[in-house]
Each structure stands twice: as structure tokens, then as C-alpha cells.
Amino acid sequence: MEIPLTTAAHRIAPRLRQPQRSSNVEWRVVDIPRDIPRADALALLTEQAEYGSWELARSVVFEGGARRVWLRRRRIRVVRTDAA
């Protein structure tokens, strides 16, 4: 039985904590319930990495089988070059 990744089976929080102004890193926390198969969780994280430029920073597997994954990516700061 394949679970579509578009369902609300996982929860993505936009930030782990309030970022510091000097920080060049963004954080995203993904909670994956225990009933999601490992292959589907891998596909979800692979899509985040490919299309969102996220990389795995930390992962925890809880006693019941649920997983929590911390993803990070560098914040790109664009500097204006024209004299507007």
C-alpha cells in the first residue's frame, strides 16, 4: 500500500527556532509518523533535497517508530547591484 506524499501524513514546521540575524542557515523540521514506510520517507526527504536545496542535519528515531528530521540550507542573500 503506497501512501501519497501529498497527504497530511507528515508535518513540516518552517523553523526549528527563531533564526539569528547573523545566521546564514535556515532550518526545517519534518515529523514523520511511524506508519509511513521507510521508502516513502526517503522519497519525501529526497524531494526536499532536490527541489528545495535542503540537506540532512540530524535525524532521530523515537521508541514508537516515529522519526523527526532536521533539514538545513544556506540562506542566499542577494545584493542589489544596480544604482536604483
Please, are residues 25 and 74 in contact by the beta-carbon 8 Å criterion? yes
49 in a structural domain:
yes
26 in a structural domain:
yes
> What is the predicted pLDDT for the residue at 50?
92
84 in a structural domain:
no
Q: Which domain holds residue 54?
A: 19-74
Radius of gyration over every alpha carbon of the chain, rounded to an integer in angstroms: 16
Number of structural domains the chain divides into: 1
42 in a structural domain:
yes
DSSP letter for each residue of 19-30:
PPTT--EEEEEE
61 in a structural domain:
yes
Beta bridge partners of 67: 32, 61
pTM, full prediction: 0.65
Q: For residue range 17-45, what is the model confidence (pLDDT) as tens digits?
A: 555 566 788 889 999 999 999 999 999 99
5 in a structural domain:
no
Q: For residue range 46-81, what is the model confidence (pLDDT) as tens digits?
A: 998 999 889 999 999 999 999 999 999 988 777 888
6 in a structural domain:
no
